[in-house]
Chains A and B, each alone.
Chain A
């Protein structure tokens, strides 16, 4: 994932050139890509840049969008709201037409206001906060990933309908994503009288030991744990639970549906359920995208790659269909024209969520995630 220092010099020089010549090359379509490209969250942002590079390379090789070349403007926001506003103003100053990003929900929220007043459409491959599409505050926002409440709904339904458990403990990692998800799970459970919420608690990420929390789960008599958060904490929890001979169900989210989780937790990961985007591995476009990535960068793509690939395609396709970079025309195309992406044929509903992009439940079986039908 790390770029060579010299590449960085070149990138810097290129950035300077772009700024200087930005106005001269007016006849290109400018696709902004924003997200964390450095720092501890870079691994969530860089796959999106690579997806955009691949899509743009293909499209430019095929003659561009209606004859215009597509130009990428990549900006780092380190997932911080305060930096994201600077990133957004920079992209706006450089005259972007559409933006692919941002990656984190918080940074996206901070940046959207700026894009909104500049009439720029933004599409995120990864920001799952429900308010982004449901509050109505961000009409210029679209995404190729389903929102957190959909995921929490699926987790709760799965626990109640398929596993038929009566007592559920909900845990989270106190973070934006994990706690948001857990809040929804809690709300859905409280509204449903088929099961009892026996424990609702946040764990401290990075703590040296979770045995007290695990004992507490044991004492609560929960038959299933729903955990909102990422894989490092999940693997610690699961390992400890299994070591303490607690074989209750463990249901978690997209942050845990990561192969690293299985590799870290090893044999203890067996039987863990996690929700994740619908399996698209057999989609020919996905196979093609992953192959392109392997050829270009020599490794498997990272987090949100398919979503980002789909988002870049959807944005550029909308511009092509609309035959303009006008806000309303693009929005109209996004809502009405189906586009073929690695996530399947998608278009967007009036709130900006992709229709047909949802989650399925997976279970770790024999060292890999298998979709539960």
Chain B
């Protein structure tokens, strides 16, 4: 595919671009913007579940990143089995995503029952430590049951024929990711604002005891939140893995931390906030890499987080409620 000849043809073009710096810079900025948009959408798919769970029980579910990872692994396993049976890509994508969502929901449900429910009334510190323990456990569970190596994840989102000429600007996989994020955000927002269960979720997050007194099934609502949040993470897991092309047991932790930072940026507990925060983080990282250096990319992201927490602790879209004593 790659022969030496076109490479030398590329050289003069670069020189020409160097001369016309203005147009080049504009193009460069636009490309960084699109890169940031993709990156932001990836964070957002994970951050949405994070923010939902936090909104309800005010717990950093460290294991959320691991659920995303398990979703990706389940997706890979289903893909592997179906590929061997000779199914076509789109069908595999749909089935893999569905199965991954079902399984991750079950994991989310079980995790809540084991690690969080028994200590719901204990101090916050206990729940946090339990969450870290769960994260550690799941990582090593997948490491031992599967492998520590990177596994290639087949690209399931096909390149659409007529889009090919533009795919170097933004590929169809990236478009699918961005659209999915938007759709999931709208659906979740609808779920929370306009459905019965959504109403129950809002009531639970405002005052758990009061909600219970008005007849809300608290346990059911919390379980439901975990199920929905985990399903979102799994959908993200399959799509993102298929976009990046490889997975291992550790992807959940890094992505989870970044997604949490994004959720905090946007105002934790708020669904549109999580998406906005993710996009802001995606763009910040992209532009920082583009104009400064990727050496300190993560350092910058964390410093950004600290600054936000100091100057606007409730995040961009968060409600800043005063502490009740």
Assess A/B contact in the complex (Cβ within 8 A).
Answer: yes
| Partner-B contacts on A (CB < 8 A) | 39-43, 163, 166, 174, 201-204, 206-209, 211-213, 215-216, 219, 221, 223, 231-232, 235-236, 239, 242-249, 260, 263-265, 267-268, 270-271
Q: How far is the CA of A205 from the CA of B169 in the complex (A)?
A: 24
- Per-residue CB contact flags for chain B residues 230-245 toward chain A (1 = under 8 Å, else 0) read 0000000000100011
**Cβ contacts A to B, 24 pairs, < 8 Å:** A42-B148, A201-B295, A206-B250, A208-B39, A209-B35, A209-B38, A215-B28, A216-B289, A219-B28, A221-B14, A231-B150, A232-B150, A232-B246, A235-B245, A243-B168, A244-B168, A247-B10, A260-B149, A260-B150, A263-B152, A264-B245, A270-B2, A271-B1, A271-B2
CB distance from B80 to the nearest CB of A (A): 14
Chain A residue, CB-CB nearest to B3: A271
Say whether, besides A215-B290, A216-B289, A270-B1, A223 and B7 are in contact (CB < 8 Å): yes
Nearest 9 A/B pairs, CB to CB: A271-B2, A211-B35, A212-B289, A221-B14, A264-B152, A245-B168, A40-B148, A232-B150, A209-B39
Q: How far is the CA of A351 from the CA of B125 in the complex (A)?
A: 54
Which residues of chain A come closer than 8 Å to B89, judged between CB atoms? none
Beyond known contacts A209-B39, A260-B150, A271-B3: 11 more, CB 8 A cutoff: A40-B148, A208-B39, A208-B43, A211-B286, A212-B36, A212-B286, A215-B290, A235-B245, A247-B2, A264-B246, A265-B245
Q: How far is the CA of A265 from the CA of B155 in the complex (A)?
A: 11
> For the complex, is B180 an interface residue (Cβ under 8 Å from A)?
no
Instruction: Determine if A247 and B295 form an interchain contact, defined as CB atoms under 8 angstroms apart.
Output: no
Q: How far is the CA of A40 from the CA of B148 in the complex (A)?
A: 5
Contacts of B205-252 to chain A: CB distance below 8 A: 240, 244-246, 248-251
Q: How far is the CA of A231 from the CA of B151 in the complex (A)?
A: 11
> For the complex, is B143 an interface residue (Cβ under 8 Å from A)?
yes
Interface size on B, residues (CB 8 A): 52
CB distance from A70 to the nearest CB of B (A): 30
Which residues of chain A come closer than 8 Å to B34, judged between CB atoms? 211
Instruction: Determine if A208 and B286 form an interchain contact, defined as CB atoms under 8 angstroms apart.
Output: no
Which residues of chain A come closer than 8 Å to B297, judged between CB atoms? 204, 207
Instruction: Determine if B298 and A204 form an interchain contact, defined as CB atoms under 8 angstroms apart.
Output: yes
Chain A residue, CB-CB nearest to B155: A266
Instruction: Determine if A212 and B143 form an interchain contact, defined as CB atoms under 8 angstroms apart.
Output: no
| Partner-A contacts on B (CB < 8 A) | 1-4, 6-7, 10-11, 14-15, 17-18, 24, 28, 31-32, 34-36, 38-39, 42-43, 143, 148-150, 152, 167-168, 171, 240, 244-246, 248-251, 254-255, 258, 285-287, 289-290, 293-295, 297-298
Which residues of chain B come closer than 8 Å to A209, judged between CB atoms? 35, 38-39, 42, 244
Q: A213, A215, A232, A242 — which one has the most chain B CB atoms within 10 A of its CB? A: A215
Q: How far is the CA of A104 from the CA of B245 in the complex (A)?
A: 27
Q: How far is the CA of A236 from the CA of B298 in the complex (A)?
A: 19
Which residues of chain B come closer than 8 Å to A219, judged between CB atoms? 24, 28
CB distance from B25 to the nearest CB of A (A): 9
Q: How far is the CA of A231 from the CA of B285 in the complex (A)?
A: 23
CB distance from A199 to the nearest CB of B (A): 10
Chain B residue, CB-CB nearest to A171: B294
Which residues of chain A come closer than 8 Å to B285, judged between CB atoms? 212
CB distance from B148 to the nearest CB of A (A): 4
Which residues of chain A come closer than 8 Å to B3, judged between CB atoms? 271
Q: How far is the CA of A232 from the CA of B171 in the complex (A)?
A: 21
CB distance from B92 to the nearest CB of A (A): 17
CB distance from B254 to the nearest CB of A (A): 5
Instruction: Determine if A174 and B168 form an interchain contact, defined as CB atoms under 8 angstroms apart.
Output: no
Q: Given B7, B245, B294, B298, which contacts A201 in the complex, CB threshold below 8 Å?
A: B294
Which residues of chain B come closer than 8 Å to A267, judged between CB atoms? 1
Instruction: Determine if A213 and B289 form an interchain contact, defined as CB atoms under 8 angstroms apart.
Output: yes
Which residues of chain B come closer than 8 Å to A204, judged between CB atoms? 294, 297-298
Q: How far is the CA of A174 from the CA of B294 in the complex (A)?
A: 10
Which residues of chain A come closer than 8 Å to B18, judged between CB atoms? 221
CB distance from B238 to the nearest CB of A (A): 14
Q: B34, B251, B285, B289 — which one has the most chain A CB atoms within 10 A of its CB? A: B289
Say whether, besides A201-B295, A211-B286, A40 and B246 are in contact (CB < 8 Å): no
Which residues of chain B come closer than 8 Å to A264, judged between CB atoms? 150, 152, 245-246
